[in-house]
Amino acid sequence: MRICMIGTGYVGLVAGAGLADFGNEVTCYDKDSERIKFLMRGGIPIYEIGLGDLMRRNVQKGRLRFSADLKSAVNSSRVVFLAVGTPEGNNGEPDLSDLFEICSEIGRLINDYKVIAIKSTVPVGTYEIIRRRIAENARAAFDIVSNPEFLREGSAVQDFLLPNRIVLGVQSERAAETMREVYRGLYLIETPMVITDNATAEMIKYAANCFLATKISFINEVARLCDHLGADVVTVAKAIGMDGRIGPKFLHPSPGFGGSCLVKDLAGFVSMFEKAGIEPQIPRAVQSINSAQRDLVIIKVKELLGDMRGKRATILGLSFKSNTDDVRNSAALYVVEKLLEEGTEITGYDPAAMDNFKNHFPGITYAENAYAACRDADIAIIMTEWNEFRELDLKVLKTAMRGDALLDPRNIYHPSDARKAGFRYAGFGRG
Ligand code: NAD
């Protein structure tokens, strides 16, 4: 199947390369022409494990290419995927202006039957606005398919190649048949396909993300109670996760979820409830618990060190989670801002996200590894659960520092190990 992928961000690039790997012929287009030139030279613009190999393999086989020519990319394709960004806009609603802009352009280019597959996360009902936008100019028939994406940054390639399910919101059997062909590689290995209407497919994406966010906020709230009552949240989470009805994933206390999806999609969900005149009780509670988690980092820093003026803090991990260079809505952004306001000197280190973080905070110090980052620090704060932070020699780290405080909001160390190394240690919910 000939496919055009519009948008070459975290979703578009992985999905484009993944669909090529399933045997489709994929042309990726982006309005950022510099990005397309970079991709054409063999550059990989984002950090994502396995993406480079996947892209190179498919470019070599002639199944994956990049183009700044929208007309020929659309004309030569049967399926046009929309994977442009839908960032948070006003009143929590996503800003769909990029999406609508490209839909008007695509409408003018449609010359024979196409399937327009929406991968971007969009509020329920957007498929109909997109259909009307395209229909204004289209000279041939087309179908709109809602095909939300569930990949996670950090394991995006694996998630895309081996998904739990494919969701397809369709209006015609012709469109469903075309999409089955696109995902033939997965169909053959019996990946479940949920084929439904467009509104339901759009709702599935929001309900899934809101549920995941709820799990995170739930365990974060339990962690607060554990701190007060002397229970250990790590053991609590492990034991409740053994119950098949609950499951072990997304039950790790943290400085709150960040990234480009959960925060924005939760806000979008709240706004959909409000427009429908229904009180969004759970999503609102999840939002408020999540923002309180970031403040809890600052509260715990002060419990360990008191007044922060003139103190030195090291932030280990700047991305919103491990295995990505994405800093959108990263809790580290908030923590650094607050500590700077308190007069703290900051040094940061991250295995992949320092360049992106520098766009927000060019003035703080950056180090080349965790030990160098901790030199002469009063406190080390582990904000992201990168594997390399799990394997630190805590005694060496402690010796490098001038202070003895270790704050571990991800609970990657056992409190007794940290104390044995000489630290005054605080985790989240460790009693
Ligand atoms: P991104 O910001 O990384 O990438 C968006 C890309 O779209 C950019 O390269 C941008 O230049 C391009 N673009 C914007 N307007 C364009 C236009 N008019 N024409 C062509 N290209 C255009 O975004 P992302 O993280 O890949 O997310 C894309 C969508 O997928 C969003 O709706 C997001 O909510 C959803 N999603 C993201 C993830 C994730 O983990 N990042 C997971 C599932 C779903």
Is 261 considered catalytic here?
Answer: yes
Q: Are residues 268 and 377 in the same domain?
A: yes
Residue whose CA is at the smallest distance from ligand 1 atom 29: 120
Distance 335 CA to ligand 1 centre (A): 26
C-alpha distances (whole Å) from 291 to each of 96, 216, 273 are 25, 12, 20
Q: Are residues 268 and 332 in the same domain?
A: yes
CB of 153 shorter than 6 A to ligand 1 = yes
Q: Are residues 120 and 252 in the same domain?
A: no
User: Which of these is catalytic: 103, 210, 226, 261?
Assistant: 261
Instruction: Provide the 10 A C-beta neighbour count for residue 6.
Output: 28
Ligand 1 pocket test: which of 260, 328, 356 has the largest number of ligand atoms within 8 Å of its C-beta? 260
Q: Are residues 253 and 190 in the same domain?
A: no
Rounded distance between C-alpha atoms, residue 159 and residue 150, angstroms:
8
Distance 147 CA to ligand 1 centre (A): 14
CB of 101 shorter than 6 A to ligand 1 = yes
Distance 27 CA to ligand 1 centre (A): 16
Q: Are residues 189 and 276 in the same domain?
A: no
Assigned token pair, 70:
């929208």
Distance 174 CA to ligand 1 centre (A): 27
CB of 16 shorter than 6 A to ligand 1 = no
Residue type present at position 59: V
CB of 356 shorter than 6 A to ligand 1 = no
6: containing domain: 2-196
Distance 48 CA to ligand 1 centre (A): 15
Contacts of residue 59, Cβ cutoff 8 Å, sequence gap at least 6: 42, 65
C-alpha distances (whole Å) from 288 to each of 80, 89, 267, 285 are 38, 19, 11, 5
Contacts of residue 200, Cβ cutoff 8 Å, sequence gap at least 6: 169
- We report the CATH number of the domain holding residue 358 as 3.40.50.720
Which pLDDT score is estimated for 353?
98
Q: Which of 143, 178, 196 is the last residue before a domain boundary? A: 196
Q: Which of 160, 176, 196 is the last residue before a domain boundary? A: 196
Residue whose CA is at the smallest distance from ligand 1 atom 12: 7
Evaluate whether residue 208 is within a structural domain: no
Evaluate whether residue 303 is within a structural domain: yes
Q: Are residues 187 and 251 in the same domain?
A: no
Residue whose CA is at the smallest distance from ligand 1 atom 11: 32
Segments in the chain below pLDDT 70: none
Evaluate whether residue 212 is within a structural domain: no
Q: Are residues 297 and 364 in the same domain?
A: yes
The dihedral formed by the CA atoms of 338, 344, 345 and 350, expressed in degrees to the nearest 10: -40
Evaluate whether residue 364 is within a structural domain: yes
Distance 376 CA to ligand 1 centre (A): 40
Which atom of ligand 1 lies closest to the CA of 7?
7
Distance 386 CA to ligand 1 centre (A): 24
CB of 85 shorter than 6 A to ligand 1 = yes
CB of 65 shorter than 6 A to ligand 1 = no
Which pLDDT score is estimated for 47?
95
The dihedral formed by the CA atoms of 158, 160, 162 and 166, expressed in degrees to the nearest 10: 160
Q: Are residues 8 and 132 in the same domain?
A: yes
Residue whose CA is at the smallest distance from ligand 1 atom 10: 7
Which atom of ligand 1 lies closest to the CA of 265?
34
Instruction: Provide the 10 A C-beta neighbour count for residue 399.
Output: 13
Q: Are 328 and 357 in contact (CB under 8 A)?
A: no
CB of 154 shorter than 6 A to ligand 1 = no
Residue 2, Cβ density class (10 Å: 0-12 exposed, 13-18 middle, ≥19 buried):
middle
Residue 59, Cβ density class (10 Å: 0-12 exposed, 13-18 middle, ≥19 buried):
middle
Q: Which of 127, 161, 196 is the last residue before a domain boundary? A: 196
Rounded distance between C-alpha atoms, residue 317 and residue 350, angstroms:
5
Distance 9 CA to ligand 1 centre (A): 5
Evaluate whether residue 226 is within a structural domain: no
Please give the tally of structural domains in the chain.
2
CB of 151 shorter than 6 A to ligand 1 = yes
CB of 268 shorter than 6 A to ligand 1 = no
Evaluate whether residue 288 is within a structural domain: yes
Q: Are residues 6 and 131 in the same domain?
A: yes
Q: Are residues 386 and 280 in the same domain?
A: yes
Rounded distance between C-alpha atoms, residue 53 and residue 259, angstroms:
24
Evaluate whether residue 58 is within a structural domain: yes
Contacts of residue 379, Cβ cutoff 8 Å, sequence gap at least 6: 301, 304, 305, 311, 312, 313, 314, 403, 405, 406, 407
CB of 98 shorter than 6 A to ligand 1 = yes
Q: Are residues 176 and 303 in the same domain?
A: no
Rounded distance between C-alpha atoms, residue 7 and residue 4, angstroms:
10
Q: Are residues 163 and 267 in the same domain?
A: no
Q: Are 415 and 233 in contact (CB under 8 A)?
A: no
Which atom of ligand 1 lies closest to the CA of 84?
7
